[in-house]
Amino acid sequence: MTRLGVRALDISTGSAIKPLFLQGPSITTRMVLCLLLGTLLMVLDHRQQLGDPVRQTIAGLVYPIHAAVDIPFRAGNFLSDQFGSRRQLIEENARLRAQQLLNETRLQRLDSLERENINLRALLQSSYEVGEPTLIAELMRVDLDPNIHLIQINRGSRDGLFVGQPVLDANGVVGQVDRLGPVSAMVRLITDPSHALPVQINRNGLRSVAMGSGDLRRLEVVNLPTTADVEVGDLLVTSGLGGRFPPGYPVARVTDVIIDPGLPFARIVAKPTAALDRSRQVLLVEGQMDPALLAPDAENSSGGNVNVG
């Protein structure tokens, strides 16, 4: 046996035998050489950019692999963005529709308030023209019976109302208080079949009685002979007879004058000037009228079975 690295002689042949293991540089030496070589390469790469061609070549070779690996992630992000955008658009569309509906509702309310403001201004102007103490009331309920024209208002005996009190709107006579409660009252319209109102033609002062017909758009003027001076378009106003309505309030305008030679009286139809089917606020004329001043001729002409204003 020989030592490692020492040549030995073959006894049979007499030739030298090659050693099985050759001893090279030590591990420490190799590590130091690798560190020096690595440091040198880093310095040269930093100053001379010697590694850029190699890096670019490697990046070009590896890019298809990166792109192939990134395809599922890109597809997922694209689909997520598409579905997310669609969901956002649907939610925004629903929100805008709700906002539009809310704005339209508010606009309708503003229109209603504007119309109410106009009506109140007209009522105030009417109150000023009446020249007497008045009280504004609001409509609460309408009696749907076609043969009984009654409305309920939000004023009652606590507010000083009394039976027979005249009720107006901005355009003319509406009716009179028929029944009273503490905080509300029923008003009988002038078109009620049981209502009669002494009137006179504003043009010539000719007096008559306007009877309710059961139609909100029609009054019948009775007890005028066929020779009476009545024309279509004449304005009928309260005559003051009957002791309830002061004179001069507009009641209706004549729309038809029918003369039948076989009848002693003309058939005269008039349309109320008050908006009986549209008014929301009404005006009550304060100041008690004397019920003892009922006109005998108006009461007799109506047969005593109607409410004479």
pLDDT tens-digit series, residues 173-186 = 999 999 999 999 99
Which pLDDT score is estimated for 124? 64
Residue 129 in tokens: 């023209």
Q: SS in 3 state form for the chain?
A: CCCCCCCEECCCCCCEECCCCCCCCCHHHHHHHHHHHHHHHHHHHHHHCCCHHHHHHHHHHHHHHHHHHHHHHHHHHHHHHHHHHHHHHHHHHHHHHHHHHHHHHHHHHHHHHHHHHHHHHHHHHHHHHHCCCEEEEEEEEECCCCCCCEEEECCCHHHCCCCCCEEECCCCEEEEEEEECCCCEEEEECCCCCEEEEEEECCCCCEEEEEECCCCCCEEEECCECCCCCCCCCEEEECCCCCCCCCCCEEEEEEEEECCCCCCECEEEEEECCCCCCCCEEEEECCCCCHHHCCHHHHHHCCCCCEEC
Q: State the pLDDT at residue 6.
A: 45
Place of tokens 């008045």: 134
The pLDDT score that the predictor gives to residue 296 is 39
Residues 6+ apart with CB under 8 A from 274: 168, 169, 171, 172, 173, 174, 190
Record the pTM: 0.57
Domain ranges across the chain: 50-131, 134-304
pLDDT number for residue 305: 44
pLDDT under 70 in the chain at which residues?
1-24, 45-46, 48-51, 55, 84, 101-102, 104-116, 118-133, 144, 287-309
Q: What percent of the chain has pLDDT over 90?
A: 27
Question: What are 28-57's pLDDT values in tens digits?
Answer: 888 888 888 878 777 776 676 666 777 677
pLDDT at 294: 39
The residue written with tokens 């004397």 in the block is 290
Say if domain 134-304 classifies as CATH 2.40.10.340. Answer: yes
CA distances from 152 to 75, 138, 251, 286, 308 (A): 71, 9, 20, 18, 20
pLDDT confidence of residue 292: 43
pLDDT at position 2: 42
